Amino acid sequence: MLIVLAGTIGAGKSSLAKALGEHLGTDVFYESVENNPVLDLYYENPKQYAFLLQIYFLNKRFESIKAAYKDDNNVLDRSIFEDELFLTLNYKQGNVTKTELDIYKELLNNMMEELDGMPKKRPDLLIYIDVTFDKMLERIEKRGRSFEQIDGNPDLHSYYQLVHAEYPQWYDNYDFSPKMRILGDELDFVNSEKDLQTVLAMIDEQLAVLDLQKK
């Protein structure tokens, strides 16, 4: 199976991906953040580095999903399916031009066509972690990445609001694979082992339903 996680910044994707990988005995492909040479530059100057950052992420996610498609069981903590959302947001903010957006979309479409030739055509399940804006900010602050903190960069608060507001519609429109929603405020799987086990049981149940549908 191939499971992809989705959700806004600070939703808890990496935490759930790690737990899910251990639970299912699968490999986990994490988002390229710690060794990303462009991310800090983007937070300092989004107008200059937004396009470069999204090209970097697109390339890394394409690598990850190609590798994941080749194996039987894998989990991705963010996937290529969300990438256009972030560049579109940067376009709305004036950080990228229409030409850059069009070039990016053409490149993304070409990559998606390449995926059609892989042994697995699409993910088995997308899991969307839905958190409130306050919970999002709480987790961003708690994990402590300096370039993500709004205290030193007030413009980030507005950006985070835009990102958070875009996700519900993105999830509603997503139709590339089966999907499910996890309410991350009600089930705090990051800090509560009980809630984590509840979430894992929900995912097991959904995978069992999907497996029955295939038979």
Residue 188 assigned as binding residue = yes
Catalytic residues: 77
Q: Is 121 helix (H, G, I), strand (E, B) or coil?
A: coil
pLDDT for res 152: 67
Q: Are 73 and 26 in contact (CB under 8 A)?
A: yes
Ranges 64-68, 104-108, 186-190: which has the least confidence? 64-68
Q: Is the pLDDT of residue 33 over 70?
A: no
Residue 203 assigned as binding residue = no
Angle 47-85-12 from CA coordinates, rounded to 5°: 100
pLDDT in tens, 129-151: 999 999 999 988 888 777 788 88
The DSSP line for 147-177 is GG-SSS-THHHHHHHHHHHHHHHHHHH--SS
Tokens of 53: 């950052």
CATH fit for domain 2-210, picks 3.30.70.20, 3.30.70.120, 3.40.50.300, 3.40.50.2300? 3.40.50.300
Q: How far is CA 80 from CA 44, 120, 148, 151, 164, in A?
A: 24, 15, 22, 30, 18
Q: Which long-range contacts link 140-146 to residues 24+ away (Cβ below 8 Å)?
A: 140/9, 140/10, 143/10, 145/33
Residue 8 assigned as binding residue = yes
Q: Are 51 and 104 in contact (CB under 8 A)?
A: yes
Residue 12 assigned as binding residue = yes
Domain ranges of the chain: 2-210
Residue 83 assigned as binding residue = yes
pLDDT for res 32: 65
Provide the pLDDT confidence category of residue 119 given band limits of 50, 70 and 90: low
Residue 15 assigned as binding residue = yes
Angle 200-29-62 from CA coordinates, rounded to 5°: 130
pLDDT for res 117: 62
Q: Are 2 and 74 in contact (CB under 8 A)?
A: yes
Backbone angles phi, psi at 43, to 5 degrees: -65, -30
d(CA 157, CA 30): 25
